[in-house]
Amino acid sequence: MNPRYATIDIGTNTVLLLVAERNEDGTFAAIAERAEITRLGRGVDESRMLSVRGMEDTLRVLAAFVEDAHRFGASQIVVSATSAARDATNGDDFLKAAEGRAGVRPEVISGDLEAQLTFKAVFHDFGRRDPRRPLVVIDIGGGSTEFVYGGLDRSSGIAFRRSFDVGSVRLTERYIATDPVADPERDRLVNQLRSVLRLPPPPAEFQLVGVAGTVTTLYAVEHRIDPYDARRVHAGTLRLGQLRQLLLRLCAMPLAQRRTLQGLDPKRADVICAGGLILQTAMELLNADECTVSDRGLRWGLLLERFGTVQ
């Protein structure tokens, strides 16, 4: 059997598992992928502390994912933790608990490294298809959002990268208190995004690629993909006009009704409006009419970085 490896991405909202096999030609094939919403970062924006519930839910899923990785034959496992673990004053308590419960110690990675690894995955999937077209990548997480410009001159090199402390969970906790979302709350959220997201002009004729659960969920809801199917979502296209209409509908919809929508995980229903508004605002600031959807983010970049560059 070819060697198998696993990466686990512990985000503010979601924990993701990838188990992949490295083929003789250096390429990787997914053997198993899992995702569970545990909301490790609930309340961190205000308290700067990981909650007991958030840690317990995440540790339970992490231990199960490590067991899955071993069951599928992974010889090595790398675990990363991002925004919530970076921001919390008790993040080290969580890391120690993870080592005790799951036998792995997550690596807390910086926003810049998160952006770099995500871009690595996106460039592999999209940059090599049309090497003449530069890429702009947006990775919307629960606590932070990363932007990366790169792929210029047929190179995987990065020209700009930055992590902003705006994410679907963080902005929901800060700005959204009504159900359904009130117009003044929506306006304050968007105005804050426009003041925070200071982006340089993108390269000419760029392709925008959106990564992570907010973007894939919006595409799945728009196309009623239920149950979720990565093969139908990955490399799909979200157009700005579609997105605006979808968000108007989602924001006007009571939370209980959003939880019943096809393609929308009920655990993500409360933060999808804020996440979607991040994407819409970014597209407007970048003057992008459409966004390519990527189902492969940090966990794939971490795989490529740690276990061999794909040829």
Report the chain's mean pLDDT, rounded to a whole number. 93
Q: For the chain, what percent of residues have pLDDT higher than 70?
A: 96
Q: In terms of pTM, does the model score above 0.95? A: no
Q: Which two tokens stand for residue 11?
A: 């985000």
Indicate whether 310 pLDDT > 50: no
**Chain position carrying tokens 């985000």:** 11
Which distant-in-sequence residues (6+ apart) come within 8 Å of 246 by Cβ? 218, 221, 222, 276
From CA 65, how far away is CA 300, in angstroms rounded? 16
* Least confident segment among 3-7, 130-134, 215-219: 130-134
Radius of gyration of the chain (CA): 18
Q: Read out DSSP for 58-116? A: HHHHHHHHHHHHHHTT-SEEEEEE-HHHHH-TTHHHHHHHHHHHHS--PEE--HHHHHH
Domains, the chain: 4-109 (3.30.420.40), 112-298 (3.30.420.150)
The amino acid sitting at 226 is: D
From CA 232, how far away is CA 217, in angstroms rounded? 12
Q: What is the pLDDT of residues 27-37, one digit of tens each?
A: 899 999 999 99
**What phi, psi does 15 have (nearest 5°)?**
-110, 130
Would you state the pLDDT for residue 133?
A: 85
pLDDT tier for residue 242 given thresholds of 50, 70 and 90? very high
Ramachandran quadrant class, 62 (left: phi over 0; alpha: psi -120 to 50; beta: rest): alpha
Q: What is the pLDDT of residues 50-72, one digit of tens each?
A: 999 999 999 999 999 999 999 99
Q: What is the pLDDT of residues 108-144, one digit of tens each?
A: 999 889 989 999 999 988 886 666 789 999 999 998 9
Indicate whether 257 pLDDT > 90: yes
Q: Read out DSSP for 29-62? A: EEEEEEEEE--TTTTHHHHSS--HHHHHHHHHHH
